[in-house]
Amino acid sequence: MPHTIDEAFTALPLRPLADAALARARALGAEHADFRFERVRSASWRFRDAKPAGSSDTTDLGYAVRVVHGGTWGFASGVDLSLDAAAKVASQAVAMAKLSAQVIKAAGSGVGAPPTPFGQWGRVELAEEPVHAEKTWISSYEIDPFSVPDAEKSALLADWSAQLLAANGVNHVDASLLTVHENKFYADTAGTVTTQQRVRLHPQLTAVSVDESSGEFDSMRTIAPPVGRGWEYLTGTGWDWESELEQIPELLAEKMRAPSVRAGLYDLVVDPSNLWLTIHESIGHATELDRALGYEAAYAGTSFATFDQLGKLRYGSELMNVTGDRTAEHGLATVGYDDEGVEGQSWNLVKDGTLVGYQLDRRIAKLTGFERSNGCAFADSPGHVPVQRMANVSLQPDPAGMATEDLIGGVDRGVYVVGDRSWSIDMQRYNFQFTGQRFFKIENGRITGQLRDVAYQATTTDFWGSMAAVGGPQTYVLGGAFNCGKAQPGQVAAVSHGCPSALFKGVNILNTTQEAGR
């Protein structure tokens, strides 16, 4: 049965508040104004060794008004649901725009004023977007996790934890579940009005083994990704939890006995459970155009993929085809419309190894000559201003590509990488190092056991340039994270990255124990 927008949300005075705010902004001379009302409910449960270790259930509710006045941004937010309060918030947004205009004018006219992209501060102008009147969008899920009793959620985490604890060699188990139900209403002075509802969740279990005689310890975490699904994800649809939980104790025991890797050059077969994070850090962030232009620099740096290299930069091998996507089913960054009223889209970022696109919001699109934004504006709460945020950035499979086992079968000396763990990348998204949950030694096309203390290191273009084979659709998995950070004040956003398994030739493998001891 199709879902409908929650009645408790639609019963709020959404349209009257929007009308009051937008009317005041127009009256005060705003060239553009938008109104965004949000209700974001987040709940989490944590277990330690099958016993409750904490829980939370919070709701963030409020609204925001953003304006362009005199060619300058203004923003304000509020929680008072009276019409007078909404109009006042709009007045505050216009006042903020006027103040910002004075600050920008003073900074731009001063001696030694900081350089800006395109050599000037420039007026804020927005790329055109068709009007989307009275649109409703609901994400793809079956069972709203908030309709499931808390006792049932806790019981499942406790049962899974107890199952792992009962296995030989497992000394501790951490389990967690994070669920989010998000409602959003948007209206602007152009006439766009949208109402949306999204559900997402992130389950995770980690088993820890301790060797009491030596004091050594290690861990093994589930590789099930966070998803834009409902409770059905934990009860059979979308992931084989029974199989994964059965395998973890044996894999962890083998990892504890595994030899340390010998540093050197190896061929890598990278599983989607690890490769999604490399995509996120070396492609996702690097193709945010505000970052490539230098507008975003203080939080995690800029990008080597600068705007002058569009259509020229050889990002990787000819097998590399990467899309930005706001429409992928169950994607964490999938929306019907972004926080500027732009409809969700899919587009190319890298085509046949060449940089051909960026992620855009309306202001950056207009500034750089694009006809339209591709829908990458998002705010993580009603109290934050929308900023350019990442879409679901995904490496496309080869329609005739091999299975993971066949990719491994073609490797004489290599490593198979499964699961994400730690990462490090420089402020230009160029030099990086990644570890993982599980590393398997490949000899003459066969897996011969696990390895420990492994990290792979490369530059972005060298790594993607070494991609020699891309797996088929049967290997494709949509991975991702709930906690991508950006902006100041900091915001977090959930984002997915799909990819197949892939083979990379001659990648530098480090021994992390040796590196730490240097």
The whole-angstrom separation of Cα 197 and Cα 133 is 17
Cis peptide before 489 (omega within 30 of 0): yes
- Report the DSSP pairing between strands 32-48 and 51-69: antiparallel
Tell the CATH topology of 7-257. PmbA/TldD fold (3.30.2290)
**Positions in the chain whose pLDDT score sits under 70:** 1, 108-121, 515-518
pLDDT of residue 458: 98
pLDDT of residue 300: 82
The whole-angstrom separation of Cα 268 and Cα 458 is 12
What the block records as the tokens of 355 is: 């940089």
- Please provide the distance, in angstroms rounded to a whole number, between the alpha carbons at the two ends of the chain: 60
Q: What is the DSSP string of 104-166?
A: HHHHHHSTTPPP-GGGS-------------SEEEE-S-SS-GGGS-HHHHHHHHHHHHHHHHT
Sequence-separated (6 or more) residues with CB below 8 Å from residue 493: 333, 378, 380, 389, 390, 484, 486
> Is there a contact between 166 and 249 (Cβ–Cβ < 8 Å)?
no
Region class of 214: left (phi > 0), else alpha (psi between -120 and 50), else beta: alpha
H-assigned helices in 258-301: 272-279, 289-293
- Neighbour-count burial for 78-90, b at 16+ CB within 10 Å, e otherwise: beebebebbbbbb
> Is there a contact between 467 and 503 (Cβ–Cβ < 8 Å)?
yes
- Neighbour-count burial for 309-329, b at 16+ CB within 10 Å, e otherwise: ebeebebbbebbbbbbbbbbe
Domain with CATH 3.30.2290.10 in the chain: 7-257
Residue with tokens 């990719």: 407
Sequence-separated (6 or more) residues with CB below 8 Å from residue 67: 25, 30, 32, 33, 34, 73, 74, 75, 90, 93, 94, 97
Sequence-separated (6 or more) residues with CB below 8 Å from residue 421: 221, 434, 435, 436, 437
